[in-house]
Amino acid sequence: MTNSPSSRRDDDGPLVTATDVRKARERLDDRSIVQRTPIDNSRSISRLVGGDVRLKMEHLQRTGSFKTRGAYNKLQRLRDRDEVERVVAASAGNHAQGVALAAQKTGLPATIVMPKNAPQAKVDATRGYGAEVVLEGIDFPTAVAHAREISERAGTEFVHAFDDPDIVAGQGTLGFEILEDVPDVDTIIVPIGGGGLIGGIGAAVTEANPDVRLVGVQAESMATVPDSLQKGRPQSTDGSTIADGIATGGISNLTFDLIEAHVDEVVTVTDEELAHGILVLLERAKQLVEGAGAAPVAAILGGHVDVDDETVVALLSGGNLDMTMLDTLMTYELTSRSQHIRLEVRIQDEPGVMGELANVIAAQSANIRTVDHVRSDDRLDVGEAFLEFLVETSGRGHATHIRDAIAETGYEVQRVN
């Protein structure tokens, strides 16, 4: 791969350039729409990975995502075209909110097509910015296809989430901000969905400082970029991930060319690593981000990017995490840390046994969240039952002590989660 900012596409002329990004930056003239987000040093994460980790807080944008940058740049250019009376876009949520807010500011009515399984918080927020929301299909490609049908109406312009030079240039303004705030940065780590964000950042960063390493991160189950680079053309895939913001299922010719020209490395992370990244950011950095936003930190924590003794900027691209998903992730992470354990105790089904066991657990300074009394199980003899306790602990050592204490009283006990 080359780091030449003058690289050209084979079909449609030049790539998005640093000059395009600078012009986009001039158009982002309203701080109530697009903010310059802060960069914060994370001492906790830095200690965990051995590098100086800075977090670019793009999840603190008004819409909770970087997407406003590209959308506002695009609509600023469209509003001066008399033939454009309405814009239409397709998105799982973040691009939807960006277009809706930009449309509100520029006075262009907006219709946003979202998958039926889009997080309700993102649907509500998009409507809250004044856009008409149409729910269609259960994945991003289906939503795009329906949005394109709507855009065939006279006076309607389709605003793609990433396959658009104006969108890419707007997203790329992040690159200049990072270089200005962290001039000694060695590595910038960016999540990849459709590739518009990393493509725009690459166009800006490569010209300004070609020595900076640019690393992209995809969800393992939706990792189209490694396959695309290997085969020399954009590839698509079907799959699912907790990181709905980067679950595009593919990249475009435009973003493929930008990635090939400017990105040094692309790594993948599992949903388990994404979940861990979200919880570490919440616990250690006090930042609530969604799966896509946590992808760069997940890649560092998972050892997929060597950042030892480097100054690293991890881009937290979005913070629109659905509360139901947060509950799911909390349950998963607490279980994996043995802070939520489920104990199955075989008992004689007699009065007082539950109280006795509750006292044993309480003596270990543990809290019982729930108890299930199971009598219908073919492993049980006549007159027996299982008591299943969901217990809160302080960690693995505490969990072991609780289980051992129950066993020492003569009960058969096993952990079942």
pLDDT tens, 275-326?
Answer: 999 999 999 999 999 999 999 999 999 999 999 999 999 999 999 988 888 9
Per-residue pLDDT of 136-160, as tens digits, reads 998 778 888 999 999 999 999 999 9
> Can you tell me whether residue 100 is helix, strand or coil?
helix
> Beta-carbon neighbour count of residue 295 at 10 Å?
36
In this predicted structure, what is the pLDDT of residue 322?
85
For tokens 């149409």, the residue is 134
CB 345 within 8 A of CB 406: yes
| Per-residue pLDDT at 245 | 85
Tens of pLDDT, residue by residue over 232-274, are 999 999 888 999 889 888 999 999 999 999 999 999 999 999 9
Residue 117 confidence (pLDDT):
85
CB 242 within 8 A of CB 274: yes
Question: What backbone phi and psi angles, to 5 degrees, belong to 138?
Answer: -120, 10
Q: What is the pLDDT of residue 14?
A: 55
Q: Domains in the chain, please, with CATH?
A: 18-63+165-332 (3.40.50.1100), 67-159 (3.40.50.1100), 338-415 (3.30.70.260)
pLDDT of residue 4: 32
Write down the pTM of the prediction. 0.89
Whether residue 341 contacts residue 395, with contact meaning beta carbons closer than 8 Å, is answered with no
Q: Which residues of the chain fall below pLDDT 50?
A: 1-11, 13
Given this model, what pLDDT does residue 91 score?
Answer: 87
What are the angstrom distances between the C-alpha of 90 and each of 61, 63, 235? 20, 16, 20
